[in-house]
Amino acid sequence: MAAHRCGLSVVCILIFSSLAHPSSCDTLEKANDNTATKRRISEVNTDGSVAGEDMNERQWQSTDVEVNRSDGTKNGETFAPAKDQFQEELVIRPLHSGDIYASFQFRTLWDTDFLQEGQKKVSHYRLFPKSLGQVLSKFSVQELHISFTQGFWRTMQWGQPFIPSPPGAELWVWFHDTVSDVDGNWKELTNVLSGIFCASLNFIDMTNTVQPSASFKPLGLGNATDHRFLRYATLPREIVCTENLTPWKKLLPCGSKAGLAVLMKSEKLFHSSFHSQAVHIRPICQDEQCTSKAWELRQTLNVVFDHYTSGQGKKEWSLFKMFSRTLTEACPLASSSKVYVDITDNPEGELFELSPATPLLSQAVVLGDRRTYSVYDLTRAETFGQLRSFNLLLRWKGDSGDMLRPLLHAERYVAGFGLQTGEIHTVIYNNHPYRAFPVLLMDSVPWYLQLYIHTLTVTSKSRDNKPSYIHYQPAKDRHRPHLLEMLIQLPPHSMTEVTVQFERALLKWTEYTPDPNHGFYVGSSVVSALVPSMVAMSTNFTQDQPLFSSFVPVKEESSYFVRVYTEPLLVNLPTPDFSMPYNVICLTCTVVAVGYGSFYNLLTRTFQVDEPSPPLAKRLANFIRRIRGVPLLA
Amino acid sequence: MSHDFLQMHLKAVISCLLIFLYKVHTTKAGQFFSSGHTNNWAVLVCTSRFWFNYRHVANTLSVYRSVKRLGIPDSHIVLMLADDMACNYRNPKPATVFSHKNMELNVYGDDVEVDYRGYEVTVENFLRVLTGRLPPSTPRSKRLLSDDRSNILIYLTGHGGNGFLKFQDSEEISNMELADAFEQMWQKRRYNELLFIIDTCQGASMYERFYSPNLMALASSQVGEDSLSHQPDLAIGVHLMDKYTFYLLEFLEEVHPASQANMNDLFKVCPQSQCVSTPGHRTDLFQRDPGSVLITDFFGSVRKVEITKDTINLTSPVEPPIQRSGSGDIQIESLTYVDQLPVAEIIHQKPKQKDWHPPDGFILGLWTLILLVFFQTYGIKHLKHIF
């Protein structure tokens, strides 16, 4: 009986121990188990797209099948066909100095209406980036042009750029005429854009925003040209670096994974003497008759590599050398993807040699000149050859000689000495041999350079040249800057000089930047002109024009519109010594403490004889005596 | 007696079993719920300007790189760099910031997103980001949108002293201000746990005044000691990193999202033999034991995910927007582009008059009226007084 009971207890113990055993196994293996779960969890999270999605996809596939069976309709039929298209192109122009000018243009055309009211808001974005679309509809933007530039465009050495931009950041916006508070919208728009492009555009406020009255007409469709809805601001100090390129690349439909955008490696792009990236949004005609409009988003990136003139390389270029990458495929979402190389100066191949050779040639009238281009179509598989990679090689053979002088060119500098007054000189050159044409000069000077407009002089060929239109809005201290717009007729083959004297203001000590001895920047002047062209420009709007020649709408055949930016100015304002408040406080407090303190002591101090405190035994004895009521010791 | 023996046996076995089960329950469940956070944020600040402070930007970028590598996305990182070193004209290799000499490791990378840069890095902006009191038009990427289940990592580097940290050579933040900012964050329930790392001279003075719960702090040097820089690069010409952050980066390079390294390992980074200064830490305000706090609780973004095998039914697809009817309906007139430089229009443009002026010829008309009325009343013979 006892044995039976012992046996029973043993069996019970065995059962319980077997139950407990898995837990001990767990405790032993818990480290491994947890890491396994954690790895699975982390794989789901950090890889996210890889591991977890596989499982999810399997689940979604099963529901998909069910829906199909029950509905009987395909998914594609419930949505209307997309009405947006994307084109990308790269134009390479070898410059006379041996350098290369590369211009990327990405265009998304979308037939939709952002500014519609009463209808459902646009919510389905395909190729057009959602962040910009929401910005357009929220702030009722008609046109938006923003550019970030590092370096200065040297017109005399490089000719005219396809799309000009001033150094730093420039933003100009046309608002829709239904907007009631343009300034409020402008302020919020700059803040939102500073978040999208990782730039400090929130420094744009009323002290550097102007409202040009005749420059910067809309580049897109529109009939309302009331300049109350235009705002222009420039930040000449803005730095452009990888953190601005990253969000810019993310706006592209293919990102930087396919197509021409794979060439955008920041280490190579910023190692150049000119780098400019811009976003232009405007409504344009959809077709010849221009009965309906579509929204166009153009992202442009212009870069000039000067490895030869700066002595770092030979006179030989390839895509791999410039961008550290070759092209492997066109963006699958693009309807056209082309590379153009300007071979106008090389008709017989005596100047440079281009490989791989291509039979495709295209002629385009751009900037008043007819240029010939070799075209490489990346949507065709044979462009990539056997190796599935496209590397353009350009080898210079001869010396190119001097460049034709550009017809319009402008410079600006500060004259004078000292920290009180100065003079701004703007020099505009008209290099056309026999034609005169008008230019519109726009100057926006910050309020702390107080212009004396009565000293404004415009001289051409050392004679006074009176402008036919002057618009001047004086500055208000700490509220708005100076705006000076003048329409000047430039005589042929001449130099026109515009001078104005100014006085430098002393800022309040909190208004100085943390590095005031660097100086303060004054934004570039803008010279807008209709320059007579050597070749008749076509006013027909055709869809298959290359992108770089169709940016500015052409209204007449004999001239083309060009905008030239001058250098920004760097002026030193009278700067106080910022350590002075500390020095003054130390000195004053020392003087007060030593001088007044000792004087006060002299007057009010009295001396008393002070007996030293008696030793402990005596104090104890005195205490006992006090209790007894007996007189105390001395 | 055997009955008693059996009962005692049974009780012993049952109690053993209960103890086993309880231990299992706490360890497994305890592990699962030990950290209590659901999302991670990082605020990384470099406060120095000028080219010779290259190392502070490299410090911040190396922590940014580690934090991004371990899983925190850009939308949860607020990166503040007071000056631009990568595209500085003095940088011989543009768009790069190196942490190791001989240009071994580019911590700037290809997809960096800086939220506050240049003059925007001020004490006011830093405190506003921490407390969440930003102007309404501030974009999301510039905000710290943490909640009461967020673990936040705050990293500061620059020049500092006993009780203060210098911002851009023109202003400073004191340790009391920082402690009050953290208390504001606690009152508004803006963090679950906060790890504060500072790499400046006398860095330990910055965490002396903290008084809010759930704060852990690390500093690169004690009060009275200077934090030293690590190694210069002769091609770039400046010191590349500070010693403490250099060894911190080397430590973090070994950490991967699934690693079990805990805070005690972090406290051992850069002992005095390597760092020359004595790194310090403060854990008295932290409720959990530092040995059970994983590095990835603050530097990584490991989420607790429940994977389910059930299918979920979605609602029916969204109705497509109403398509506008085709051509021929509304707009027949063609739209045109605007003239870019309409010279004639500009010359004859009337200047915008903000103040109201009476229309042209008003004064002349008024005088004519007065004269007419005068001569009407008094007769025409008074005209001779005029002419």
User: In terms of pLDDT, which residue wins out, B121 or B302?
Assistant: B121
Instruction: Specify whether the CB–CB gap between B267 and B295 falls below 8 A.
Output: no
Least CA distance to A8: which residue of chain B?
Answer: B6
- Cβ distance A78 to B13 less than 8 Å, yes or no, reads no
pLDDT at B254 over 80: yes
Q: Which residues of B touch A222 (CB under 8 A)?
A: 338
Residue A579 binned pLDDT confidence (cut-offs 50, 70, 90): confident
Residue B242 maps to a domain: yes
**Weakest mean pLDDT among A224-228, A240-244, B31-35, B90-94:** B31-35
CATH class belonging to A408-571: mainly beta
Q: A49 — contact with chain B (CB < 8 Å)?
A: no
CA–CA gap between residue B91 and residue B78 (Å, rounded): 25
- Cβ distance B117 to A243 less than 8 Å, yes or no, reads yes
Domain range for B147 is 39-297
pLDDT in the model for residue A117:
53
Under 8 Å CB-to-CB from A526, ≥6 apart: which residues? A166, A215, A216, A441, A442, A563, A564, A565
Any bridge partners for residue A425, and if so which? Answer: A413, A499
Least CA distance to B314: which residue of chain A?
Answer: A63
Instruction: Specify whether the CB–CB gap between B298 and B153 falls below 8 A.
Output: yes
Positions of E strands within A40-164:
84-94, 100-110, 141-150
Closest Cα of chain A to B115: distance in Å? Answer: 6
Least CA distance to B6: which residue of chain A?
Answer: A9
Q: A240 — contact with chain B (CB < 8 Å)?
A: yes
Stretch B150-174: mean pLDDT? 94
User: In terms of pLDDT, which residue wins out, A401 or B208?
Assistant: B208
Stretch A226-234: mean pLDDT? 93
Instruction: Specify whether the CB–CB gap between B20 and A20 falls below 8 A.
Output: yes
User: What is the CA A13 to chain-centroid distance, rounded?
Assistant: 75
Q: Which residues of A touch B321 (CB under 8 A)?
A: 119-120, 122-124
pLDDT in the model for residue A316:
83
Residue A243's Cβ-count burial label (10 Å; 0-12, 13-18, 19+) is buried
Residue type, A241: C
Residue B354 maps to a domain: no
Place of tokens 């496209």: A390
Tens-digit pLDDT profile for residues A362-393: 888 888 888 899 999 998 888 888 888 888 88
Selecting from B71, B86, B346 the residue whose C-beta is nearest the C-beta of A46 gives B71
pTM, to two decimals: 0.80
Residue A8 binned pLDDT confidence (cut-offs 50, 70, 90): low
**Residue whose C-alpha is closest to residue B60's, from B207, B228, B241:** B241
CA–CA gap between residue A284 and residue A171 (Å, rounded): 20
pLDDT in the model for residue B181:
97
Closest Cα of chain B to A23: distance in Å? Answer: 6
pLDDT in the model for residue A545:
79
Instruction: Specify whether the CB–CB gap between B245 and B62 falls below 8 A.
Output: yes
Residue B350 maps to a domain: no
CA–CA gap between residue B45 and residue A549 (Å, rounded): 45
DSSP line for A496-560: EEEEEEEEEPPPPTTSS-S-GGG-EEEPPPEEEEEEEPSSPPP----TTS-GGGSSSPP--SSEE
pLDDT in the model for residue A74:
42
- Cβ distance B119 to A203 less than 8 Å, yes or no, reads yes
Domain count, chain B: 1
Closest Cα of chain B to A611: distance in Å? Answer: 43
Least CA distance to A192: which residue of chain B?
Answer: B139
Selecting from B114, B321, B336 the residue whose C-beta is nearest the C-beta of A243 gives B114
User: In terms of pLDDT, which residue wins out, A271 or B381?
Assistant: A271
**Residue whose C-alpha is closest to residue A521's, from A145, A164, A170:** A170
Residue A7 binned pLDDT confidence (cut-offs 50, 70, 90): low
CA–CA gap between residue B208 and residue A389 (Å, rounded): 60
pLDDT at A38 over 80: no
pLDDT in the model for residue B177:
96
**The two three-digit tokens of residue B94, written as one number:** 């543009």
Selecting from A26, A246, A293 the residue whose C-beta is nearest the C-beta of B335 gives A293
Instruction: Specify whether the CB–CB gap between A393 and A314 falls below 8 A.
Output: no
User: In terms of pLDDT, which residue wins out, B124 or A112?
Assistant: B124
Residue A287 binned pLDDT confidence (cut-offs 50, 70, 90): confident
The angle that helices A130-139 and A182-197 make with each other, rounded to 10 degrees, is 170
- Residues of B recognised as catalytic: 159, 201
Residue A307 binned pLDDT confidence (cut-offs 50, 70, 90): confident
CA–CA gap between residue B39 and residue A560 (Å, rounded): 56
The angle that helices A242-250 and A182-197 make with each other, rounded to 10 degrees, is 100
Stretch A207-215: mean pLDDT? 93
Stretch B240-260: mean pLDDT? 92
Helix/strand/coil for A599: helix
In angstroms, what CA-CA distances link B341 with A215, A303, A384, B116, B337? 8, 28, 44, 39, 12
pLDDT in the model for residue A72:
38
pLDDT at A33 over 80: no
Q: Which residues of B touch A201 (CB under 8 A)?
A: none
In angstroms, what CA-CA distances link B201 with A77, B38, B43, B165, B206? 66, 34, 20, 9, 10
Q: A593 — contact with chain B (CB < 8 Å)?
A: no
Closest Cα of chain A to B320: distance in Å? Answer: 6
Best interface-test mutation with A: which of B346, B348, B349 has the largest number of A CBs within 10 A? Answer: B346
**Weakest mean pLDDT among A36-50, A254-268, B258-272:** A36-50
**CATH number where B171 lies:** 3.40.50.1460
DSSP line for B93-136: STT--BSSTTT--BSS-SS---SEEGGG--HHHHHHHHHT---T
pLDDT in the model for residue A81:
54
Q: Which residues of B touch A270 (CB under 8 A)?
A: 86-87, 94-95
Q: What part of A 266-285 touches B (C-beta under 8 Å)?
A: 266-267, 269-271, 285
Q: Which residues of A touch B337 (CB under 8 A)?
A: 219-221, 285, 553, 555
H or E segment and range at residue A495: strand A494-504
Tens-digit pLDDT profile for residues A89-99: 999 998 888 88
Degrees to nearest 5, angle at CA A349 with A348 and A351: 115
Total H helices, total E strands in chain B: 11, 10
**Weakest mean pLDDT among A320-329, A350-359, B56-65:** A350-359
- Cβ distance A242 to B110 less than 8 Å, yes or no, reads yes
What is the predicted ipTM? 0.79
Under 8 Å CB-to-CB from B362, ≥6 apart: which residues? none
- Cβ distance B87 to A293 less than 8 Å, yes or no, reads no
- In this structure, the dihedral spanned by the alpha carbons of residues B67, B70, B73 and B74, taken in order and rounded to 10 degrees, is 30
Q: Which residues of B touch A225 (CB under 8 A)?
A: 338
Tens-digit pLDDT profile for residues A473-497: 999 999 999 999 999 999 999 999 9
Any bridge partners for residue A299, and if so which? Answer: A106, A279
Selecting from A120, A225, A290 the residue whose C-beta is nearest the C-beta of B321 gives A120
Place of tokens 């590369």: A102
Least CA distance to B331: which residue of chain A?
Answer: A291
Helix/strand/coil for A166: coil
pLDDT in the model for residue A23:
43
Rank B24-28, B79-83, B326-330, B331-335 by mean pLDDT and report only the highest.
B79-83
Number of neighbouring beta carbons within 10 Å of residue B97: 28
In angstroms, what CA-CA distances link A330 with A49, A128, A157? 24, 18, 33
pLDDT in the model for residue A510:
86
Stretch A580-608: mean pLDDT? 92
pLDDT in the model for residue A51:
40
Stretch A1-25: mean pLDDT? 51
CA–CA gap between residue B243 and residue A74 (Å, rounded): 62
In angstroms, what CA-CA distances link B100 with A17, A96, A256, B200? 57, 40, 28, 19
Best interface-test mutation with B: which of A163, A291, A487, A582 has the largest number of B CBs within 10 A? Answer: A291
Number of neighbouring beta carbons within 10 Å of residue A333: 18
- Cβ distance A30 to B27 less than 8 Å, yes or no, reads yes
pLDDT at A56 over 50: no
Selecting from A39, A225, A515 the residue whose C-beta is nearest the C-beta of B258 gives A39
The angle that helices B243-253 and B54-69 make with each other, rounded to 10 degrees, is 20
**The two three-digit tokens of residue B209, written as one number:** 């005044």
Extents of the domains making up chain A: 84-396, 408-571
Q: Which residues of A touch B14 (CB under 8 A)?
A: 16
pLDDT at B21 over 90: no
What's the whole-number average pLDDT of chain A?
Answer: 83
Helix/strand/coil for A266: helix
Q: A243 — contact with chain B (CB < 8 Å)?
A: yes
Helix ranges, A43-120 (H): 51-71
Q: A325 — contact with chain B (CB < 8 Å)?
A: no
Whether cis (ω within 30° of 0) applies to the bond prior to A581 is: no
pLDDT at A597 over 50: yes
Q: Which residues of B touch A31 (CB under 8 A)?
A: 260
**Residue whose C-alpha is closest to residue B190's, from B263, B120, B134:** B134
Residue B360 maps to a domain: no
Q: Which residues of A touch B13 (CB under 8 A)?
A: 12-13, 16
Residue B259 maps to a domain: yes
Size of interface A-B (CB pairs under 8 A): 239
- Cβ distance B337 to A553 less than 8 Å, yes or no, reads yes
Q: Which residues of B touch A532 (CB under 8 A)?
A: none
- Cβ distance B110 to A241 less than 8 Å, yes or no, reads no
pLDDT at A45 over 70: no
pLDDT in the model for residue B325:
47
**The two three-digit tokens of residue A25, written as one number:** 């196994």
Residue B326 maps to a domain: no
In angstroms, what CA-CA distances link A258 with A90, A244, B132, B205? 14, 20, 39, 51
Residue A188 binned pLDDT confidence (cut-offs 50, 70, 90): very high
Q: What part of A 355-394 touches B (C-beta under 8 Å)?
A: none
Tens-digit pLDDT profile for residues B354-377: 666 677 788 889 999 998 998 888
